[in-house]
Amino acid sequence: MSFEIDLEGRRALVTGGGQSIGRAIALALGEAGANVAVNDIVPEHAHAVAQEIVGAGGKADALPFDVTDHAQVASAIDGFDDLAVLVNNVGNAGAEGLVWPRNFIETEPDDWGRYFAVNVFGTMNCIHAALPGMIKGGWGRIVTLVSDAGRHGDAKVAAYAAAKAGAAGFCRSIAREVGRHGITVNCVSLGSIETPAKIEAKAARPPDPERERKMLEAYVIRRHGTPDDIAGLVTFLASPLASWITGQTYAVNGGYTFSL
C-alpha cells in the first residue's frame, strides 16, 4: 500500500528556501507536485534550489526578496495570484545568521530588533501579501516554522524566543480570521536542527564530546534533527489532507519537550 501527498497544480512559496531547512521543504513540495517559488535573500541560493527542483522533474522559480521589506514582499507576491501555499521558513536573524546564546542582561535593545524583523514582521509581511489571493481562491495553506525556544522557553536566547512565540501567537489569530475562506494556518516548532551553518560552526571549534553529550541529554531521541525531519510534516500540513487542522503548533523536536 502506498501513500501519496498530491500538490499538483498548487503554487507554493517557501521563504528562506535557498538553503538548509527551507531547501528540504522546497524539494519536498516540488516532489509532491507543487510549483515552487523559492525565496532567498541571496539570489544565487534561490536559483540553485529552483534548478535542483526542475532537474528532478518538478516545477520551480527563484523569487529573491527580503522578507523584512513589506514593499519587496508585496511586489514579489503580487505576481502570483494563484499562490496557494506559503511556508514561512526564514528565521534566526535572517541574513545576519545564527542566534548566539547570551544572557538577556548582557544584550542591548539594538540586539533585539533583528530577531523581530525576520521572525515576526517577516512572517506578517508575507501573510499580509499572500492572503488576498488565497481568500479570492477559497483555498490556502500557511505553515510557519517557529522554535521550542519560544514554545517551551530556553535560556540565553530570550529575544529570539520572544520573536518566535510572537509569530506563533500571530498565526493562531490569523487562523481564526481566515478559516471560513478554506485557509488553514499552522506552525511547526523545531528543536535543535543540524543545519549546514551549525555544522560549519561546530567544525570551527575544538571537538567537545562532553558538551555534545550534555546538549543531547534533553532529547529522548539522542540526535539533532535534520532538515528532512521537518519537510515531511510541512508538506502534509500544506496538502489537502490537512484540511481540518488549523491554529495548531506541532513540535518536531526529538522529544525535547512533551505537552498535552
Q: Which three cell numbers stand for residue 258?
A: 512533551
Per the residue annotation, which of 160, 219, 250, 256 is the catalytic one?
Answer: 160
Does the annotation mark 250 as catalytic? no
Cα 192 from Cα 196, distance rounded (Å): 12
Is the distance from CB of 130 to CB of 142 less than 8 angstroms?
yes
Burial of 206 (0-12, 13-18, 19+ CB in 10 A): exposed
Q: Which value, in Å, is the radius of gyration of the alpha carbons in the chain?
A: 18
Burial of 155 (0-12, 13-18, 19+ CB in 10 A): exposed
Sign of CA dihedral 166, 168, 170, 173: negative
Annotated catalytic residues are 160
